Amino acid sequence: MTRFAAPIAEQIWDMKYRLKDGDGKVIDTTVEDTWRRIARSLASVEKDPKHWEGKFFNALEDFKYLPAGRITAGAGTDRTVTLFNCFVMGTVPDSMGGIFDMLKEAALTMQQGGGIGYDFSTIRPKGAPVAGVAADASGPLSFMDVWDAMCRTIMSAGSRRGAMMATMRCDHPDIENFITAKSDSARLRMFNLSVLVTDAFMEAVKADKSWDLQFDGVVYKTVQAVDLWNQIMQSTYDFAEPGVIFIDRINNANNLSYCETIAATNPCGEQPLPPYGACLLGSINLARLVSNPFEDGAQMDEEALNELVATAVRMMDNVVDASRFPLEAQAEEARNKRRIGLGVTGLADALLMLGLRYGSETAAAQTEAWLKQIARASYLASVELAKEKGAFPLFDADKYLASGNMMNMDDDVRDAIREHGIRNALLTSIAPTGTISLYAGNVSSGIEPVFAYAYTRKVLQKDGSRTEEEVVDYAVSLWREKFGDRDLPDYFVNAQTLAPLDHVRMQAAAQKWVDSSISKTINCPEDISFEAFKDVYMEAFETGCKGCTTYRPNDVTGSVLSVSESEPKSSEKPVLVEAEENGAEVVYMSEPLDRPQSLEGATYKLKWPDSEHAIYLTINDVVVGGRRRPFEVFINSKNMEHYAWTLALTRMISAVFRRGGDVSFVVEELKAVFDPRGGAWVKGKYIPSILAAIGGVIEQHLIAIGFLEGEGMGLKSDPKAAVVNLDAPRGKACPSCGQFDMRMVEGCMTCASCGHSKCG
């Protein structure tokens, strides 16, 4: 029998977490092999590895404890990757040399698979004088563009999709440009943006006071705080960015406020971190710990929860010693403080199993109780580790107990820490769990409500076709097993039907016992008024949240795809999207796709007469709308005389392919190129140039995948494209699979069809 609760779970495991060699040969035969690999790796730093390997395996078994994806995919593989999810980089110096030193560090970190966060508030504003060069500064946004380009370059080299967070203080002189930067959809695509909002600013907003924008003590501009707040709100209302981070609350609640200052977060915001801080994440699957679900005696198994938390804390602490780090400064920071971020997933499902309506006061109270229990169990487990292995190096009992969330912790926990110390400075965080939640059987993500109780997912098959399968929420699946087709009770609510303030209530309840922060999206209806929208953020501030991220569907952020069969009005701008009639094989894409993590293709050897070295062409394809089409070309040769033009050709053809539509003209244009020095006879046929030969190879590939009818012929069939009206709301295509199934979950755009996440 399979351990997977749903087909999608096994597909996610095979695609993202199953260990395979460089040729794709399977090493993890079963998911038990994956659990064993992780358990053995994390137990290797213990004095009794065999004992702890068994304990760790039991925690992983049946998806009860879910390490973050990097640990699941990377532990025990001997690959040069970090097991930490993301990093906040060093403070950016306000100098050209220092800025580019930071850029290099960012590139090295992203190359190993780490997402990064940066505070750009330390760079002088645009127009400020630069001493010694008789010039004005270009400002932080110009350097953010450089970071953005770097991230795209790292991705194009085959690394895991990059995720970056940029923050800026609400009193920086360039804050207004920062707020509106992503109104240009082509700019800063690799970044999430968040404004660091101070308590003083929020008080100025409420009192309608003026607000100085300053740098290094120099006031550049004075604005009304309300006007600046409205700019932030309007941009978020229209574009879902920037997010808001209540930075003073984060620093005041930090257990390490005596030895660090935080000015940035990781890409999804759940880990506020100091310079070179790293986040190590994992989640307790609450949906697996409820006994007698949907019955009168349904309850959380508290003993099992406490035991699982203790084991998870030990596993995560071991990751600090087992992981590689891109930079030594990151390793030193991690070892000095040993912070971890243990969170939860399946919360909404667990509440449903107890008959509680997500967003209600009763559900919020239960959430707070569970999170407090996890916090207590985490801290006590860390105390036990301190007894055995020692406290974190920067531990100072008096300062630690007088700072941050420790002021609110129960007396017995505080007494234990005072007597024995604590192994990990911070222990709890609620991270995005979209992919690992699918892997665990489609349990609800993090502390989010269930997004949809069932939906249809398009699954890519090996032959390039797509089939459809129903994906059912874990709790709904259990309900069906128990009660068949009986209607779901009224307390089954989802993200689409909840009032925004219900979301806030749940986030605030969880935040009380989470010592880092929470990745959560507050879904707002498209027709929410601007004033009601602003009230969501004010309520988040007033109820103790450390940040706020909302998502309001509209024609910019994305919503349901609207296809019109009729001709567009003359004032409307049509975009061809995909051929639908007669099984046409050409696809018109509404926008170029980012490169998926993996593609299928073929490599061809081209030997040109009188040339010492062969040319190799690799052509990779993407499946869009169930149809295979060319996506990119790589041309390689050992002949360095070919280097420049083959590189240029590679980029130009790939760019054309990624635009979509009928790209067969590329073949015809290449085949028509005549070389005045003469062509060559190849397989009994005269080819006028080496470029024509390359065109011929591409043509044969397009015929092989069914894109062209035959040699010298056009499209396999004449497409009649559907028309999308840009003035109507439409969803965004997934950059990995091309499906229009992107949704905002836990502050991150995530694809329901393939599990792709912007934040990794």
Active site residues: 266, 268, 270
Residue identified by tokens 């065109």 is 695
Residue identified by tokens 């069914």 is 706
- For residue 494, count other CB atoms closer than 10 A to its CB: 17
Measure the CA–CA gap between 211 and 228, rounded to whole angstroms.
Answer: 9
Of 175, 164, 179, nearest to 103 by C-alpha is: 164
449 neighbors 427 (Cβ within 8 angstroms): no
- The tokens of 200 are what? 């003083």
- For residue 119, count other CB atoms closer than 10 A to its CB: 25
Length of the chain: 760
Residue identified by tokens 């073949």 is 667
Measure the CA–CA gap between 381 and 310, rounded to whole angstroms.
Answer: 5
Measure the CA–CA gap between 36 and 16, rounded to whole angstroms.
Answer: 17
- For residue 579, count other CB atoms closer than 10 A to its CB: 23
Measure the CA–CA gap between 91 and 326, rounded to whole angstroms.
Answer: 17
169 neighbors 216 (Cβ within 8 angstroms): no
Of 463, 320, 454, nearest to 392 by C-alpha is: 320
Measure the CA–CA gap between 64 and 397, rounded to whole angstroms.
Answer: 33
CA distances from 333 to 247, 393, 730 (A): 21, 10, 44
Query: Residue 37 in 3-state DSSP?
Result: helix
Measure the CA–CA gap between 106 and 332, rounded to whole angstroms.
Answer: 17
Of 579, 85, 700, nearest to 343 by C-alpha is: 85
729 neighbors 555 (Cβ within 8 angstroms): yes
Angle formed at CA 378 by CA 374 and CA 383, multiple of 5 degrees: 150
Of 321, 262, 456, 281, nearest to 49 by C-alpha is: 321
Angle between helix 302-322 and 31-43 (nearest 10): 70
Peptide bond into 275 cis (omega under 30): no
Amino acid at 103: L
| DSSP states along 408-427 | GS-HHHHHHHHHH--S-S--
Query: Residue 391 in 3-state DSSP?
Result: coil
CA distances from 118 to 143, 157, 274 (A): 12, 22, 10
